[in-house]
Structure formats: C-alpha cells, structure tokens
C-alpha cells in the first residue's frame, strides 16, 4: 500500500494514511487555502482521500477532531519535525541517468560520508563538484549517512523521525535527486543508510497513529519497532514502502540497513525476507540490481544466505571483526570490545573465513559468538579501517591519523584494499584527514539534550577514557568535524591520497586482486614478529603482499610461493615518504629480509 501524499503530475493528489486505531481522520490543508476534508477508512485501517491541489501545499492530519499531526510518511518537512508536511511533485525532476544500470557489487569501492560535514555548505548539491575527484582516486560508490528529517539542522541522522522526508538543511528532495543524477553521470553508484530498527525521540508522533512500537523487545534506543505483533502488517508495509521509495523515486542503487540486530521479528516470514522479495520485484521491473547491505554484530550467516536456503538474502554486510583486527594491530588498544582482538592470527582468520568469531568464545561477550560463513563469498563482506561508528563512538572522535604513524596509515590502506573483500573508506580517510568526527545533535528539547549528554558519558565507561566528552549539542562540536578538503593537495596528505589511488588502481587492474575469492588466497603469520604475508592468485595472475604490523624493524626469513616475484609497490620508498626500501626488487627463493616498521610491500609475478 503506497503511503503519503502522492501527486500525479496533473493537479490530482492521493492521500493515504495508516491509522487503524483512530476513529476519525480529517485531512487539514494549511496552504494555499485552509480546508478540512474528511477521509474514508478501509478494513485494514488505511484512510484515503484525493483532491485537486498544487505541489508545495502544506497539510497535516487531524485525529479524532483533537490532535493535529504531520504525515508520518511525509515526503517533505519544510518547517522541521514539528511543522506541517509538504506535497511533492516527483514527476517534475528531469532525470538524465536513463542509461545507468548500476555496477556489479564486486566493483564497489565505497566512500561513506556525512552530508553536513563533508563540505562547508553542508548540502547535497555541494558534494557534486567533488565527485570527479573521488572517482579519480578510485571510488565507485558513495554511501550517504541517513538523510531522513531529524530535529534541528545538525545530527548524525540516526535520530530521524520522518523516514520518507529528505532533511531540509541538506537541500531536501531536489538536492538529493540532483546529487544522485550527478553521481550516475560520473559513473558512481549511490548507497543510502536507512534506519529500520528505531525512530528518533523528538518529533516522533507515530504512536498517535498506530502501534508502530512493540513492548515485547527492548533496543538500546527504547521499544523496538513492531514487526511481528498485532498490527505489524502496517508497520512492515511502512518500512518496505520506504525502501522502495528511495530506490524508485530517487534512483538510489542500494541501501545500507543500520543495526539489523535491533530488528526483532519472530514471525515465520522475517521482515528482511519480505523486504528482499519486494526489492527483487522492483529490480525486475527496473531491469537493474538494487543492493541491500546489512550492519549486524551477530556474525550470522543467515543474513547473507539466499532466500531459497532459508537466508535473509542480503547482498553484503559490514565486517566489524575485520576492523577490530586491523585497529588493534595498528593501535595496540585492548579496551572494551577490542579485548577480543589484537593478534596477527585474528587478522589471518578474518582473511581466510571473513569472521574471526564463527562460534568461538568471546572474552568480551563472555559467551560463544557467531557461526560459520564458509559458504559465503568474500564479496559479501564490506571491510574498513575506519567508519562513522568506529571514529565517532570514541570519546574524542579521533581518526586513525591522530592515533598512528603515517607509515601505519599506508599499511591500513593496503590491508583493506588488497583484501578479497569490498573496501569502504570514511570521508577524508584517503588523504589522512585529521579533524575529529564527533557525535553532535541539535534537539530543541533541553531535557533530551541533557539525556544525550549523560548517555554519551555512560557509553565510554567500558573504554576507561579519561576526561569529558565534547558537548554533542554545542555548535563548535559540529564545526570541528568539517573536512579540511584543501589538505588533499598538501604535503603528506597529497602523498597518502596518491598511495590510495595507486592501490585502488592495482586492485582494479590486477586479476588476482580484482577477483573476490577466498579459495584463491593463502596467509602465513609470524606472530612474534607481527608479520603477515598474503598470497592471492587468479588464473595466471599472482600477488604476494608483505604486511609488517610491528612498530620496529624486523628481520625474517621468508620463502615466497614458487615463481619470480617482482616488486610493484613498497611503502618504504621515498615516493611514499618512506625511509627508503630495504627489500629486493625481485626474489624467488627463501631469503632473509629486513622489513621496516609498519610497512607494506607488494610483489607480483
């Protein structure tokens, strides 16, 4: 059932609202002329009416002749989360991406960004002039953090309360369409981060309309979304229609589903299965693939398995295990969930089997965790050295560039890009951005602001960080996070950018690196020396990567796989601001090598 105010492009608008427990609903037109129009209800609680009206008109719903509320499926909230909804004409935008058919997922190199801090303007259209530079580095897809209307003008986006409305301070409906259209002209795919596990607290009026929430389950954000209790049919339809809306009306290429472990559904047909089925139908209609990428901390292979074998059919999922392995090796941190990681063996396991915890005992969780995903290809796992969560959920929002050496940043880039997985970078990472990415809000409820402040302090206890977290409500906290884009062209930042570009060019052009297949991979570890050697091959192409995670120079005897190995890249070269290479230009027999600290060397046959 299609929701919201759907304008047909010819003066007629169909209004559909799901409110099964409300006795009377009236459509209240606010502009251009105030009107009250009774609505009719069907047997499933969907109220409907239609009338001749112009796009841009404002409206809301009057419930039982008492409360007046915005449309929960509003396409636009020009006056914020407490104001009226706006009628949008989705027919008038001039799309020019008709030849675009999306990219194969194996070609994705994902760039996660926050619209508000990516540019000084903080808008969707301000991103457009920078797309060609991202593409030149080797990025093939941008991933936008949530855009749904949230309170105020600065927020990570996970406090959105109007899932169908594009945040006004970012540029609203047209801003997003212009960006997606421009991305497709550049050959870039667009992924949108969506939140189906909770809604934000301020401006959330959904409970006035229907039982959107369940008291059966609790999430870290309060009551869970009602996906399996009485009236769940309408809730499921609401979020499925939301997913279809982004893909159909905004030409989005894929959705990143936030924290699906917070989607509780014990019904026979899980919400994610139904979502996959509906999106597959849309994909057939549009003759192009739409991707679903899950965030989950369950390490559960069912998320990725096809529907035919009882899985949820997600195309991919984020791999926090890979991140935690890499982060602990680079930084030495071992607090909180990092206590489960820190050995080269852990990263070796991630390379070989995608997860580290596949039914193994987790000291942090104090239980056995995860299951095997040996039947799933490595192209279903998105890996990263940094993302918004892993930076922003640190008390001071430090990036890796603030925590490790320049050499270690190059090693981090190589570990991600040369892996058999799908690489993701957080905005600015490609040139070693040094501004923090902190948590920020602009709620108007002072009690809620204080609750957020206290909640943040509580979150950091397990990490035993010293001091006070920056005030998430302060404008200065937000401003600190804006990228210093000019640094891409300066000093070490320019070199790191070129290093990423070189690695991504190698991944794109060398068959052994382009092929996402763990069956064509072997790994050897020297735990005491903190050294990993990665061998990847495909047909006649072979690559041998040496990764030294030790913060000191080591001497190790290495026997390479059979063949004459020619050096292709050495992070120690002066070209990359290294101290000078100590490794041979070629070798084919067992040899004792002196390997500088935090270094990456790539050989090829």
Rounded CA gap, 466 and 534, in Å?
A: 38
Distance of CA 397 to the CA centre of its chain: 17
CA distance 440 to 162: 19
393 is in an annotated binding site: yes
Say how far apart CA 265 and CA 268 lie, in whole Å: 9
Check the annotation: does 388 bind a ligand: yes
- C-alpha 106/C-alpha 379 separation (Å) is 6
CA 15, CA 7: separation in Å to the nearest integer?
Answer: 9
Q: Where are the beta strands (DSSP E) in 440-529?
A: 521-526
153 is in an annotated binding site: no
Residue among 143, 241, 258, 597 flagged as catalytic: 258
Distance, CA of 456 to CA of 460 (rounded, Å)? 7
Handedness of CA 524, 525, 529, 532 (dihedral sign): positive
Q: How far apart are CA 417 and CA 397, in angstroms?
A: 24
Q: 391 a known binding residue?
A: yes
Catalytic site includes residue 295: yes
CA distance 53 to 523: 65
258 labelled ligand-binding: yes
- Residue 324 assigned as binding residue: yes
The verdict on whether residue 260 carries a ligand-binding annotation is yes
Q: Cα separation of 605 and 600, whole Å?
A: 17
Tell whether 320 is in a known binding site.
yes
| Rg for the chain, CA atoms, rounded | 25
CA angle 178, 182, 188 (to 5 degrees): 130
Report the SS3 class of residue 40: strand
Helices vs. strands in the chain: H and E counts, helices first: 13, 31
Does the annotation list 261 as a binding residue?
A: yes
Residue of 89, 274, 295, 315 marked active site: 295
Q: What is the DSSP string of 142-153?
A: EEEPP-EE-SSS
Residue 142: partners with Cβ closer than 8 Å, 6 or more residues away: 110, 111, 112, 113, 127, 131, 134, 183, 188, 189, 190, 191
Strands 316-318 and 291-294: parallel
List the strands of the sheet with 521-526, edge to edge.
Answer: 521-526, 531-538, 541-548, 599-604, 565-570, 586-587
The answer to whether 208 and 63 have CB atoms below 8 angstroms apart is yes
Q: Are 595 and 602 in contact (CB under 8 A)?
A: no
Report the C-alpha gap between 568 and 543 in whole angstroms: 9
> What is the rounded distance in angstroms from the CA atom of residue 525 to the CA atom of residue 504?
25
392 annotated to bind ligand: yes
The rounded distance, in Å, linking the Cα atoms of 178 and 96 is 10
265 is catalytic: no
- To the question of whether residue 126 is assigned a binding role by annotation, the answer is no
- Calpha distance 121→150 (Å, rounded): 18
Residue 215 annotated in ligand binding = no
34 Rama class: left (phi>0) / alpha (psi -120 to 50) / beta: beta
Separation in Å, CA 171 to CA 148, 154, 326: 12, 13, 37
Q: 3-state class of 97 per DSSP?
A: coil
Element spanning 214, H or E: strand 213-219
What residues have CB less than 8 Å from 461, skipping those under 6 apart? Answer: none
Q: Which two tokens stand for residue 87?
A: 């009628």
Q: Judging by beta carbons within 10 Å of its beta carbon (0-12, 13-18, 19+), is residue 113 exposed, middle or buried?
A: buried
User: Catalytic residue numbers?
Assistant: 258, 295
Q: Which positions make up the binding site for substrate? A: 256-261, 320-324, 388-393
Q: Which positions make up the binding site? A: 256-261, 320-324, 388-393
């Amino acid at each position: 059932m299609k929701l919201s105010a759907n304008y047909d492009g010819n003066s007629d608008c169909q209004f559909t609202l799901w409110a099964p427990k409300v006795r009377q609903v009236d459509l209240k037109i606010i502009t251009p002329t105030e009107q009250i129009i009774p609505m009719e209800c069907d047997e499933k609680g969907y109220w409907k009416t239609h009338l001749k009206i112009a796009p841009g008109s404002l409206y809301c719903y009057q419930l039982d002749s008492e409360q007046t509320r915005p449309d929960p499926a509003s396409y636009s909230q020009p006056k914020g989360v407490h104001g009226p909804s706006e009628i949008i004409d989705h027919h008038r935008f001039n799309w020019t991406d008709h030849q675009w058919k999306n990219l194969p997922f194996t070609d994705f190199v994902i760039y996660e960004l926050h619209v508000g801090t990516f540019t000084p303007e903080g808008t969707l259209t301000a991103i457009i002039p920078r797309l060609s530079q991202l593409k030149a580095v080797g990025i093939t897809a941008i991933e936008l953090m949530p855009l749904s209307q949230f309170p105020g003008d600065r927020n990570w986006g996970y406090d959105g309360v109007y899932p169908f409305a594009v945040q006004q301070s970012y540029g609203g409906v047209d801003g997003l369409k212009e960006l997606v259209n421009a991305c497709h002209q550049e050959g870039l795919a667009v992924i949108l981060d969506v939140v189906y596990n909770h809604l934000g607290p301020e401006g959330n009026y959904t409970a006035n309309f229907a039982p959107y929430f369940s008291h059966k389950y609790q999430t870290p954000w309060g009551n869970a979304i009602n996906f399996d209790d009485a009236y769940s049919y309408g809730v499921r339809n609401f979020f499925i229609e939301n997913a279809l809306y982004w893909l159909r009306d905004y030409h989005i290429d894929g959705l990143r589903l936030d924290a699906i472990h917070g989607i509780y559904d014990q019904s026979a047909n899980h919400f994610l299965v139904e979502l996959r089925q509906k999106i597959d139908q849309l994909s057939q209609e549009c003759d192009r693939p739409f991707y679903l990428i899950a965030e989950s901390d369950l390490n559960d292979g069912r998320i990725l398995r096809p529907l035919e074998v009882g899985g949820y059919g997600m195309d991919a999922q984020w791999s926090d295990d890979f991140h935690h392995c890499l982060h602990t090796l680079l930084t030495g941190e071992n607090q909180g969930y990092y206590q489960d990681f820190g050995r080269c063996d852990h990263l070796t396991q991630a390379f070989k089997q995608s997860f580290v915890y596949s039914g193994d005992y987790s000291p942090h969780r104090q239980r056995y965790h995860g299951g095997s995903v040996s039947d799933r290809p490595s192209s279903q796992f998105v890996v990263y050295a940094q993302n918004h969560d892993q930076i922003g959920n640190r008390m001071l929002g430090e990036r890796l560039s603030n925590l490790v050496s320049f050499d270690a940043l190059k090693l981090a880039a190589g570990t991600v890009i040369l892996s058999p997985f799908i690489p993701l970078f957080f905005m600015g990472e490609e040139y070693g951005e040094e501004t923090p990415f902190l948590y920020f809000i602009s709620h108007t409820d002072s009690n809620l602001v204080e609750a957020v402040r206290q909640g943040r302090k509580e979150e950091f206890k397990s990490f035993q960080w010293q001091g006070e977290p920056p005030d998430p409500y302060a404008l200065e906290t937000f401003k600190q996070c804006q990228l210093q884009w000019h640094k891409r062209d300066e000093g070490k930042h320019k070199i790191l950018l070129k290093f990423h570009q070189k690695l991504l060019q190698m991944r794109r052009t060398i068959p052994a690196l382009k092929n996402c297949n763990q069956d064509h991979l072997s790994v050897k570890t020297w735990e005491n020396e903190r050294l990993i050697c990665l061998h990847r091959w495909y047909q006649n192409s072979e690559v041998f990567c040496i990764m030294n995670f030790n913060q000191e120079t080591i001497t190790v005897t290495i026997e390479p796989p059979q063949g004459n190995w020619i050096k292709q890249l050495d992070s120690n070269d002066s070209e990359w601001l290294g101290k000078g290479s100590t490794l041979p230009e070629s070798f084919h027999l067992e040899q004792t090598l002196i390997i500088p600290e935090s270094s990456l060397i790539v050989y090829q046959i």
